[in-house]
């Protein structure tokens, strides 16, 4: 790539491609510069340091995952939308392993509050609202869906399911069935005095795993929120 063609976006895309090829931890400013055919100093007008590159790849991955989900759930609702959404996560994890790894790392405050994270949350909540869940239950449902997706994909990725029948695809389909049934029959708690004083569900803007770190006050997620899945990106990593 010619030096004059470099932009922040092109630098981060190149870093993400490196992560897919060599692993997320392999990203370095020097390797990125060699890949782009420039001196490391040429990158510093686009990214501050290695940490900024990693954070940028994280945000980039959130946006690309959101694009996949949007395409898969368009015109669908309830189970069909759920299948499309979690299928998008699985496909992204398989096709973009380095980007997927980026979604498994703690997100900084800027990533948590990014437009990419907010869009991922909004798409996830659109799917969940198809099941007529009360807004106060969306975070809980997001955590359930996210834990199921991430747990399954993490175990599948390291070969934990390869030692016995039936085929993993059968188990994946059963996981979809269970999530669909759980969302369709979601229990709505009876209001109590304590519940009346509880903060409302957070507005879209914090990635899926961020709900695990939303303070009791209902404020924004902490800077160590994970943003991968309902992935990435509760208000749904990640």
For residue range 131-155, list pLDDT tens digits in order.
999 999 999 999 999 999 999 998 8
Q: Is residue 118 part of a domain?
A: yes
Task: Specify the CATH number for the domain of residue 118.
Answer: 1.10.357.10
pLDDT at 221 over 70: no
Lowest mean pLDDT among 16-30, 80-94, 185-199: 185-199
Structural domain for 158, as ranges? 70-213
Q: What is the pLDDT of residue 163?
A: 80
pLDDT at 96 over 90: yes
Q: Is residue 135 part of a domain?
A: yes
Mean pLDDT of 191-216: 48
Q: Is residue 103 part of a domain?
A: yes
User: Looking at the 3D structure of the chain, how many domains does it have?
Assistant: 1
Q: Which residue has the higher pLDDT, 222 or 109?
A: 109
Q: Is residue 145 part of a domain?
A: yes
Give the chain as a 3 state SS string: CCHHHCCHHHHHHHHHHHHHHHCHHHCCHHHHHHHHCCCHHHHCCCCCCHHHHHHHHHHHHHHHHHHHHHHHHCCCCHHHHHHHHHHHHHHHHHHCHHHHHHHCCECCHHHHCCHHHHHHHHHHHHHHHCCCCCHHHHHHHHHHHHHHHHHHHHHHHCCCCCCCCCCHHHHHHHHHHHHHHHHHCCCCCCCCHHHHHCCCCCCCCCCHHHHHHCCCCCCCCCCCCECCCCCCCCCCCC
Q: Is residue 18 part of a domain?
A: no
1-44 confidence digits (pLDDT tens): 445 588 999 999 999 999 999 999 999 999 999 999 998 888 88
Q: Is residue 113 part of a domain?
A: yes
Q: What is the pLDDT of residue 168?
A: 87
């Amino acid at each position: 790539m010619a030096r004059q063609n470099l932009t922040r976006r092109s630098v981060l895309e190149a870093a993400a491609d490196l992560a897919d090829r060599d692993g997320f931890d392999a990203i370095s400013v020097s390797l990125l510069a060699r890949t782009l055919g420039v001196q490391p100093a040429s990158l510093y007008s686009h990214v501050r340091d290695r940490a900024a590159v990693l954070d940028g790849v994280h945000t980039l991955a959130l946006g690309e995952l959101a694009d996949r989900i949007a395409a898969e759930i368009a015109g669908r609702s309830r189970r069909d939308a759920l299948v499309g959404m979690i299928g998008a996560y699985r496909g992204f994890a398989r096709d973009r392993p380095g980007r997927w790894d980026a979604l498994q790392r703690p997100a900084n405050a800027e990533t948590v509050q990014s437009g990419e994270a907010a869009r991922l949350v909004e798409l996830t909540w659109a799917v969940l609202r198809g099941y007529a869940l009360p807004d106060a239950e969306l975070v809980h449902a997001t955590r359930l869906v996210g834990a199921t997706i991430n747990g399954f994909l993490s175990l599948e990725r390291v070969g934990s399911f390869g030692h016995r029948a039936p085929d993993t695809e059968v188990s994946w389909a059963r996981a979809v069935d269970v999530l669909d049934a759980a969302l369709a029959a979601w229990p709505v708690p009876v209001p109590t005095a304590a519940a009346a004083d509880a903060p409302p569900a957070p507005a879209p803007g914090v990635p899926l795993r961020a709900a695990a770190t939303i303070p009791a006050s209902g404020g924004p997620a902490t800077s160590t929120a994970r943003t991968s899945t309902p992935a990435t990106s509760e208000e749904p990593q990640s």
